[in-house]
Amino acid sequence: MPEPVIADTKPVVMELEAGDYFWCTCGQSSNQPFCNGAHAGTEFTPMKFTLEEKKQVALCACKYTQNAPFCDGSHAKL
């Protein structure tokens, strides 16, 4: 499998409303950390995740987290 593009070396911290979201797995989206379809023609697909309530989250931007879509500190090893 190809390697994702590292969109950033720090997480994207934001408050999100309850609902469904699509996290970019390829790193090519111009709408980071969310998918904008830039993965078209690649082996990557966005990852759907659901929040049951309004919540502050730290979403991974390096794309190497083992706790997708949430940051696990993997960017510190890049």
* Sign, CA torsion 36/14/9/76: negative
Q: Output the pTM of the full model.
A: 0.94
Q: For residues 36 and 54, what is the distance between their CA atoms, to the nearest angstrom?
A: 22
Q: What is the DSSP string of 4-52?
A: PP---SS-EEEEE-SEEEEE-SSS--TTTTB--STTTTSS---EEEEES
pLDDT of 75 above 80: yes
Q: Check residue 22 and give its pLDDT.
A: 98
* Sign, CA torsion 2/51/73/62: positive
Residue 62 pLDDT level (bands cut at 50, 70, 90):
very high
How many percent of the chain have pLDDT more than 90?
Answer: 97
Q: Convert the pLDDT of each residue in 20-38 to its tens digit.
A: 999 999 999 999 999 999 9
